[in-house]
Structure 1
Amino acid sequence: MACRVLLVEDNPASLELMRYLLHSGGYQTLLANNGQEALEHLSRALPDLVLTDIQMPVLDGYELLSHIRSNPRTRGLLVVALTAYSMPGDHERVIGAGFDGYMSKPIDPETILDELRHFLGRSAAGGTCGDLD
């Protein structure tokens, strides 16, 4: 069974690149342009991983994470921040907010799938979808 990843990104070019890379790696993707759209997806189905931008309109990544963690149905989801924030302290702020991981932009197409496998391998879902090749 392929892993399902919810991609949350407001930049259409970045969203399409990530979708393409994940599909090429065997992942199924759900796409959202902001945190509100992501919550709508989560009300219908739970992915194995949520990969979200931080700075977005409507609901940003921190607000999305807060909604996810406050809902008993979604609180255990694996949520990884994908962000261009790279100033000192940004990584610590992201992890301190409750994200399960941090990936920086711009992404490296050569390593993105390995990074996702790393996160999925640490989760409860890792046994069903962390071994994709």
Structure 2
Amino acid sequence: LGLSISRQYVNLMGGDLTVRSELGQGSLFQFDLLVELAGGTELEGETRHKRVLALETGQPVYRLLIAEDNESNRQLLVKLLEPLGFAVKEAVNGQVAVQIWEQWKPDLIWMDMRMPVMDGHQAIMHIKGTAKGQDTVIIALTASAFEEERERVLFEGCDDFVRKPFREGEIFNMLVKYLDVRFVYEEPVEYPASSHGQEEVQAPTDLGEIPSNLIADLQEATITADMTQILKSIEQISLHNPAAAERLADYAHNFEYKKIL
């Protein structure tokens, strides 16, 4: 994150970050915080996971607009939502988003805050400043971790707020909350909880046949959550180990990045 912003985070939590450095030896960065001890929570013996498969029949065709200048981030949402049956359009900046909104009348807009030409803040105020814009749900997407940013976008007229990187469950929950969307879910898969109350992560198929540079490329793309590059890397891996590529693709589409790493 960088020392300056890291220190700000620590200060906001009531602590401080310090550094001790010796020439030719290295540097030690440390911080201290006063925190309350959390009470232990007993986990159930089984953890249930449900994956969205499709939209229930008998619903309208929901129109979703994705306003995001980063193509990888846009495609992440497009590939998550379009296969389920949503009508999806994309905007590369706030100005294009406003134009599409005026012509297409989407039911919900996923609005990135930092975009060229016209940013998300300006686009939100333009849309919500009109009578018909009051009926359009706008969900802000931002990488900011500060509460002030959340308060700002809500004040400007956003209906809700999702921080990046998001989980697919957060996206689906917003659609249920604001559009009353009904989903078809796969049957819950039950996993025995480990002795530490965490899900056991299964190792992917043996990667020994795959060139090390392809594995490194995949890991780098996964760490940065670059879905476009992740899928490109998996496509290259499939030429060497189709079984491993199939499993890795399943992890990617389900946003199970820890299993990929």
Q: TM-score, normalised by structure 1?
A: 0.85
Provide Cα deviations, 1:71-90, integer angstroms capped at 9, x if missing partner.
23323211110111111322
1:26 aligned partner, one-letter code: G
Provide Cα deviations, 1:42-86, integer angstroms capped at 9, x if missing partner.
221101101100111111111001110222332321111011111
Q: Counterpart of 2:63?
A: 4
Q: Counterpart of 2:84?
A: 25
Partner-residue secondary structure (3-state), 1:20:
helix
Q: Distance in 2 between matches of 1:73 and 1:112?
A: 24
Q: Distance in 1 between matches of 2:84 and 2:174?
A: 12
Q: How many residues align?
A: 125
Distance 1:41 1:50, change over 3 A: same
Provide Cα deviations, 1:10-58, integer angstroms capped at 9, x if missing partner.
0000001111101133211011011111111122110110110011111
> Which of these two proteins has the greater Rg computed from alpha carbons?
2
Q: CA RMSD in A?
A: 1.6
Q: Counterpart of 2:146?
A: 87
2:65 aligned partner, one-letter code: L
Q: Counterpart of 1:108?
A: 167
Q: Say whether residues 1:131 and 2:182 are aligned partners.
A: yes
Q: Which has the higher contact order (CA 8 A, sep 6+)?
A: 1
Q: Distance in 2 between matches of 1:26 and 1:114?
A: 16
Q: Distance in 1 between matches of 2:153 and 2:127?
A: 15
Partner-residue secondary structure (3-state), 2:65:
strand
Q: TM-score, normalised by structure 2?
A: 0.45
Q: Percent identity?
A: 31
1:78 aligned partner, one-letter code: V
Q: Distance in 2 between matches of 1:70 and 1:92?
A: 18
1:7 aligned partner, one-letter code: I
1:93 to partner: Cα distance: 1.8
2:63 aligned partner, one-letter code: R
Distance 1:113 1:24, change over 3 A: farther
Q: Counterpart of 1:58?
A: 117
The 4+ residue runs of structure 1 with deviation greater than 6 A are: none
Unaligned residue ranges in structure 2 (runs of 5+):
1-59, 185-261
1:110 to partner: Cα distance: 4.3
Q: Distance in 2 between matches of 1:91 and 1:107?
A: 15
Partner-residue secondary structure (3-state), 2:134:
coil
Unaligned residue ranges in structure 1 (runs of 5+):
122-129
